[in-house]
Structure 1
């Protein structure tokens, strides 16, 4: 059975097999979010550039409209014609690989994309806080770290078999849930406990693109939007910092980029947790077209965009995925079909268990979703 399920799952990533699902994408736009592109020469792990190239080949061969993010927002607002099945690409942060690896591939396929830049990072004033955490976990020789955060002591054992990358991610998640000032203090305590000296400037694998890179990318058809000055979770900042992070990042982008787009990207970007009406009000006052989020993963629609005054400032995106198959399922309608099935099941409530035989030891059989594994 598992081999059959795997075969069907693989089939749903083949272009001709996904075509029946495309009707599910009427009135829906897929906004893709990416972060790092793999660059072994710099020690950067991320999306395999071959997968990005295959994704763009698929979109061109299957005649998907590939449009700019600004075009998407103006269409959703009713200022431009609708664009069914359209796909728009975005990349967050402004790391060097986005300029040297991603931008040439997008240019090769004449594909627009928008990079959301952390302007303090590009200015050389800082390196991204999660990169600092990763660096500490990778370079420390200590086997146990004891770190205070928000009044709680966290003891991290590096010799218990857990991968350091996993432990670093766990620490990062804790950082996102505390006030910004406390997060930065906790990272300093982490480095001290780990006996790791953080360089003033990020190592090559964590380097940002330069403003010259920004302008070179613009010449290739890439546009840029603001992603704050220092990448705090805005909901964990006070009113003054929240406003400053948005206003200053936009001002720096306007000063350095030739044609910045007035669309914002929230750090972390979880709806209802990482930003709120305060940030929406600031963006509206500055005349932004809207903003994009990172979760939950969903599609952009006219109905959703126009459903409330704040809706344009929480437009969803979908992650590129771990490989080419994930991407195909996202844009083709396969993922949306799965979501529709899940919503229908949730509305109907739990199904009665199917009894295929006598239960063992009084246990009841769980209802089976015959489609779920096909979309994984």
Structure 2
């Protein structure tokens, strides 16, 4: 991530480079995806953004782009009035540090973000992948033997071992049917025999606090399923009931949707785009790279800013503007 002390010196270079690589004031929209903003770096996830790095990235983004609230950017795209090098900030899932860590930093920079919340995990819930992360983090032994679950045996002697075990387990679980995945994760937790945190996700009061602070709240289904693996009726219920739950929570319309996982044609498809339109969303976002002058407002691409220098950050923004996004 961008060290904070590089922002002052690197921002002019990055801004000039972005202008050079996007001539004519390219009017694409760069939408950034975040999930968590940690108070301090986490050795198990060294690439996860922390508070200092997030603040530095926001400074870079302000220097390089015209940063808009995503609902406003969607309206501008629809009207053909999007400014050059526009950008928007989004968060997925509904982690508690979005409210406790990210929000104060956003307010300090005078910036807006849209928070896509999966309602089934509020108030003490935990996403299945976080259960896996925390099992691997907290497992007291040097080996996690999950072979009885069909998940293999994973050495945990070192931090590097634990870093490798996480994607190995996630990859085996991600695309299982929802009920089977839930069962295997629960059995994995029981096998490890360690207590797991119940404060990773936001409370309803924290979601309401984000809304009261002027941030946008977007739908992200109830249980964060892979929509393409559900029946049409189940997928529609996940989208619709997640939207309604948030509207009841904040007392305002929820106009934007983020498809869980978000890969076009793999995690969602044209059926789910049609559902978003029918449910009267104004737009929806994927996790496909790219920026388009004539976008599908219900398949807006996004990218994650993993960069460690102003130059690379600017190059990633420019690459996003130059890439034609994949659609379902």
Q: Which TM class, normalised by the smaller chain length?
A: 0.7 to 0.9
- Corresponding position: 1:303 with 2:259: no
Alignment partner, residue 134 of structure 2 = 135
Tell whether 2:265 aligns with 1:266.
no
SS at match of 1:116: strand
Other-structure match for 1:222: 215
RMSD: 2.9
Query: Are 1:155 and 2:157 counterparts?
Result: no
**Aligned 1:7-18 pairs, distance under 5 A:** 14-18=14-18
- CA drift of 1:59 comes to 3.8
Q: After superposition, what is the alpha-carbon deviation per residue over 1:186-218, rounded to whole angstroms, capped at 9, x for unaligned? A: 212322433x2555xx444x2x22222222222
> What residue number does 1:107 align with?
107
- What SS does the aligned partner of 1:154 have? coil
SS of the residue corresponding to residue 303 of structure 1 reads: coil
Q: Look at both structures and tell me which one has the larger radius of gyration over its CA atoms.
A: 1
Compute the displacement of 1:116 (Å). 0.4
Report if the CA contact (8 A) 2:123-2:202 is conserved.
Answer: no
Matched, 1:122 2:122: yes
| 1:329-374, Cα deviation, whole Å (9 max, x unpaired) | 333x25546x59xxxxxxxxxxxxxxxxxxxxxxxxxxxxxxxxxx
Native 8 Å contact 1:226 1:263 kept in 2: yes
Q: Cα distance, 1:35 vs. partner?
A: 1.0
Partner Cα distance (1:283, 1:38) in 2: 32
Secondary structure of 1:209's aligned partner: coil
Measure, in 2, the Cα distance between the counterparts of 1:216 and 1:159: 39
Equivalent residues of 1:119, 1:249 under 8 A apart: yes
Q: TM-score, normalised by structure 2?
A: 0.83
Counterpart CA distance in 2 for 1:42 and 1:210 is: 23
Q: Provide the rounded CA distance (Å) in 2 between the counterparts of 1:185 and 1:213.
A: 29
Q: Does 1:316 align with 2:309?
A: no
* 1:35 maps onto 2:44 in alignment: no
What SS is found at the alignment partner of 2:238? helix
More deviation, 11-20/24-33: 11-20
Alignment match, 1:330: 316
Matched, 1:175 2:167: no
- Alpha-carbon distance in structure 2 between the residues aligned to 1:291 and 1:189: 35
Paired residues of 2:138 and 2:194 also in contact (CA < 8 A): no
Choose which of 152, 164, 167 in structure 2 pairs with 1:166: 164
Structure 2: distance between partners of 1:297 and 1:245: 25
Report deviation, 1:48: 2.5
Q: Please name the residue that 1:234 is paired with.
A: 227
User: Aligned-pair distance for 1:313?
Assistant: 2.2
Q: 1:250 maps to what in 2? A: 243
Q: How does 1:334-349 map to 2 (within 5 A)?
A: 336=321
| 1:180-195 matched pairs, under 5 angstroms | 180-194=178-192
* Alignment match, 1:4: none
For 1:137 and 1:94, the matched residues in 2 are separated by 22
Cα distance between partner residues in 2 of 1:17 and 1:77: 28
| Structure 1, gaps ≥5 residues long | 1-9, 306-311, 341-376
Report the equivalent of 2:71.
70
Aligned-residue offset at 1:123: 4.3
Q: 1:327 to 1:43 in 2, by over 3 A?
A: same
